[in-house]
Structure 1
Amino acid sequence: MMEMKARSKWLRMYKVFSLALLIILQIYWYKWTRKSEAEWEKLWSGIGKRFRTTLFELEGLLIKIGQFISIRSDLLPKAFIQELLDLTDKVPPSEWSEIQRILNEEWGSELSKKVVAIEKEAIASASIGEVYKGALQDGSIVAIKVQRINIQSIVHTDFRTLSILVWFADRFVPIPKGFINLKVLFQELKQVIERELDFTKEMDTLLYFKERFKDSEMVKIPDVHQELCTSKVLVMEWVEGKRLNDSEAVEKLEMPRQELARRLMKLFLPQWLEPGMFHAFSFLNYNQSNYDKIVSQVKIY
């Protein structure tokens, strides 16, 4: 078993290194042969598809990297970015048996003693965890966020791989001076991901925002069921929501866009200007399709 795990880690590292090398070689070849703009666009689209396929296959931290890259249209070609949009909320889910095992291990009992019902199909699935809809014995409908199987080991392997790639790129890839500091970016990413691997920290953040906005009539913070939360499981109130970039949903709101914008600014300006935590989101309230930001999702009234 240990030998198999070691082999899978080396295979994972090999796939990442080979993908990175192939992309670098293709870019240098196109520069050397002075390809046309149309050919460059086709190249970046192909690179994006290959990149997305590899990330979906390997999952883990690499999905998080892809999600970060997918919002940097200011730095990367549009054809490449377009291929990565699915990384936000369409990551293949785990087998239910794996999720059930984690829940049993974390709760120390059978699922039936904690919940009266739980849907076996994930509502949303992303890089570190997945969300399932369930019902508690008191009738409460909840969102149950469960950490992916072996994700901590996978993330550790990915960080080792990325550290080597950052070292190589810092020395051999002609990145313009002052354009981006890969070492600093890597350290920040490592710090953020290590924090996200502990769901109790996410629970604490949710409770912080719930206390902070307890007197606000504009925002709804989901209740958290602390007795069911662990470092790998987060259970909170189920709240339906829509994306702010969903034009049709925004048009159907009873309030005009100007009023919505005013309320959003009133909600977020204090977070920007006053000491304390800041939470960025893109929802009218909790929406399962981006549950990595499940903490402190808000509902605008």
Structure 2
Amino acid sequence: MKQTFGGIHDDPRAVIPDAVKSLMTSNQYVDMQILSQNAPRREELSNVETANNVIQSLAPRFLESIAISTEGLYILITQVEVYLRGIASVDDCAYSTITLGYRANPLFIIEQKREFRNQWTEAKIYFGQLKFLVTGCVHGSFNSSDTQAVLGASLGRNIPTNSYWRVYLASDTEAHIRDVRLLRDFTKKASGYKWHYKSKRFHDEGFSSASALNLPLDDIIAAAGSLLLRMMVNNDDKKEELAALLANSKLLEQINFKNPYADGNKTDLMELRLSKGKRLVVNIEMMVLRDLVVDKSLYPEMYKTVLAPRMKAMNNQVIKKKKFVF
């Protein structure tokens, strides 16, 4: 790996592992530390508009970049989502606990996470008050032709956390799309920010994480829950669209969603054979259609029980179909 780290000046494509060369388009790569000369300053991040500008100038640079470890491992980054630490008035979705200080030079780390009995690892780039969380990647070893892919924040537990990594950026910024982040709570002010950056090339080939605000119609109740979140985040009145969507569900055909006050709806709702999560979705939908106030704590529960499992299944299907190979 010392040869690889040192040889990039002689052959910029030496940074690309053989297993993923067919996926790459750039012939020129530079060390991530080149960004240090434009480190984000706190005053540039103090309001949403200027923070957006800074993030837009930095986040696309990490797309289709290559992280390389001293153990000969690599991570080809296809997606990152951005969090602004320490300024809750701008980004109230970022964790308030600061585990790593604000760095003038970008740092790539593999960090172990734990929640209750669950453990996993995340790949992150810390730069100033910004955190770039890798949410899509292809990874493997320089010594192997095998590749693995990840969609979502968890890398699993196969990548060591004590390695030294360097990140090489494509000289030209890759085309990208923007989306909302992979949040568990969309009731916060910053939940609608499109601070999730995805390589357009990989996205167009189908290698892209599911979006909580745009779930497909093949599961109508989950899609309706997704529409509910979108209505809340964007403050949109789409009750007619919501009612029409629900009316297409065979599971709910006895419910009159176009007339939510219809006689018999309450009895029919109680008789529905639905999981606890999907019943919650339908109950929230009826409250919205009746213009009732919805307790905001119900939305994270809806996400946890219905939308998150649906998104995980979609992401797993994308990986199973090897959409990252083209």
> Shorter chain as normaliser: what TM range?
under 0.3
Structure holding more strand per residue: 2
Structure holding more helix per residue: 1
The alignment's TM-score, normalised by the length of structure 2, stands at: 0.25
